[in-house]
Structure formats: structure tokens, C-alpha cells
Amino acid sequence: MHPKTRERLVLTVVGWLAAGLIFFPIFWMILTSFKTEVEAVATPPQLFFTPTLENYITVRERADYVHFAINSIVISVGATLLATLIAVPAAYAMAFFPGKRTKDLLLWMLSTKMMPAVGVLIPIYLLFRDTGAIDTRWGLIVVYTLMNLPIVVWMLYTFFKEVPKDILEAGRMDGAKPKQEVWMLLLPLSLPGIASTALLSIILCWNEAFWSLNLTTSEAAPLTTFIASFSAPEGLFWAKLSAASTIAIAPILVFGWMSQRQLVRGLTFGAVK
């Protein structure tokens, strides 16, 4: 075998192995969702069994999936739009008009992500209580926006840095105002980067469980609380939990799959000059 072909073969196998390893828990979850509760905990684990839809029926009976799913969509998209709206001008200023302290500022922003969320639970809960934000979609949108803002600013900053300054300068020479500069030049040029940032932000919001469990009860509860309601300390629950998890991740999985081209383009944006 030609050494190049062999190398390619090895890389392909490694690629498939890595993909299989990452996908295996999801595959197992989907498989478990079609088992009975007794089969779900059987040792040794069963790969072949008679599938049942019983868990999906129970999950549908016990909770209003659509209500939770709509909340998840509204909150994730809302928080992402708001975060992008704030982050674009911030990243623009930092990328093209850096000051002496811009780097420090960026690092400081990121450092807020280093604190465990539970450390600020009580202050945030009190703020939410006093502003009537507990169990509201807008309350969660605000929290998620603040939670993801450092990452969104960082990513956009990195993408904006890849855009040649000269293009913006040329625009300025032609009389473009900063707003036009951002809107008509910067955004179209870095669209793949913005899209992948937004995608990442939506995924992070979709999967966030700490704040959604603590700041919502029923009205604004997203899918993470829907999943949590099927976990139990007593009794068998794995099959039902797997069914709930499968339908909870299905929308984001499909969404991610549909936009993977955009995501890959964004993540490799500016990698080769």
C-alpha cells in the first residue's frame, strides 16, 4: 500500500473512532428510550430487544412537551440575539480601536465565567424576586445573555480581527459612518463567524440547566427542566428519562445538523490567509 493511502486510511479510522466515541452516549440514550425500565438497567446491557414506545407515551402524558420546547426556542434565540446585538459593537470597538487596556478588559470579561454559578444564586434570586423576573422568559433571556456575553464578545473579536483593516478604512475614505461600516462591510465579511458564534450561543442556552432549574417554575420552564422532572431517587426511571432527553435534544440536533456547513465555515474562518 502506498504510504499516503495508508496514512489516509489510518486517519479515516481514527476520525470514525473519535466520532463513534462522541456519538455513543447519544446512540445509547436513544436505544434506551425504546427499552422497558427493567431492560434499561439489565446487566449485561442489552443491544437487541423488542422496542417499545411506552416511554414516549408516558412522557407525553405527564408533561406538556410543546410548552417547554417553545420556551427553549424563545429563550435561546432571544438571548442569542440580545447578546449578539451588544457584542457586535463591543467587539468592533475592541478589534479596530483597541485602547491600552483592551486586552485586560477582554481577560476580565472572561474571568466572570470562572466563578461557579451557585456562588451568585442568592443575590440573583433576590434581584429576580424584587423585579418580578422569576419564572419569566425575559428574566431567563437576561441571565443567558449575560452568561454568554463574554464568549460571544471573544469569538466576535477574534473573527473581526481577521477582517483586513484596509477594507474598513477604504469604506471610511468613501464617507461611511461607523454604523454603515459595521452594517455594510464588517457584518457581511464576517458572516460565517457571526453565524457560528450565534449557533454556539443557542446551543449553550439550550443546554443550560442550573439557572433554568433555579429561576423558573412552570410558565417559563425550558426543556432542561422538562428532562429534570423525569429523574428520580427511588424507582426505575432511566428509560423514561432517555425518552424525555431524546425529544428534548432532537430540535437542537436537527438544527445543528442543518447548519453544520455554516458552523464549520465559521470555525475555520480566517484559518488560512
Cβ nearer to other proteins, comparing 166 with 234: 234
* Residue 180 binding other proteins, by CB under 8 A: no
**DSSP H helices in the chain:** 3-32, 37-40, 54-62, 65-96, 102-111, 121-131, 137-162, 165-173, 178-180, 187-189, 191-207, 210-215, 223-228, 238-258, 260-267
Cell numbers linked to 176: 461611511
Residue number with CB closer to other proteins (122 or 272): 122
Count of residues near other proteins by CB under 8 A: 31
Cα separations in angstroms, 230 against 108, 183, 227, 243, 265: 39, 46, 6, 9, 37
Closest separation in Å from C-beta 231 to other proteins: 4
If binding is defined by CB under 8 A, does position 158 make contact with other proteins?
Answer: no
Stretch that binds other proteins, among 19-27, 196-204, 223-231, 263-271 (CB under 8 A): 223-231
Which one among 73, 134, 147, 194 touches other proteins, defined by CB under 8 A? 134
Binding mask 16-45 for other proteins (x = CB under 8 A): ---------------------xx--xxx--
For position 237 contacting other proteins by CB under 8 A, the verdict is yes
Shortest distance in whole angstroms from residue 66 CB to other proteins: 16
Q: Which is nearer to other proteins, 3 or 44 (CB)?
A: 44
Answer yes or no whether residue 131 interacts with other proteins by CB under 8 A: no
What are 246-253's contacts with CB under 8 Å, separation 24+? 246/29, 246/30, 246/33, 247/56, 247/59, 247/65, 248/68, 248/69, 248/72, 248/223, 248/224, 249/26, 251/69, 251/72, 251/73, 252/202, 252/203, 252/206, 252/207, 253/26
- Distance in Å, CB of 134 to other proteins, minimum: 6
Q: State yes or no: residue 135 binds other proteins (CB under 8 A).
A: yes
Residue 129 lies near other proteins (rule: CB under 8 A): yes
Interface positions, 107-126, toward other proteins (CB under 8 A):
121-122, 125-126
Q: Check binding of 52 to other proteins (CB under 8 A).
A: no
Chain-centre distance of CA 252, in angstroms?
A: 9
Residue number, 92 or 128, with CB nearest to other proteins: 128
Q: Are 56 and 247 in contact (CB under 8 A)?
A: yes
CA distance linking residue 144 with residue 137, whole number of Å: 11
Q: From CA 134, how far away is CA 85, in angstroms rounded?
A: 24
Residues that bind other proteins (CB under 8 A): 37-38, 41-43, 62-63, 121-122, 125-126, 129, 134-135, 213-214, 217-219, 221, 225, 228-237
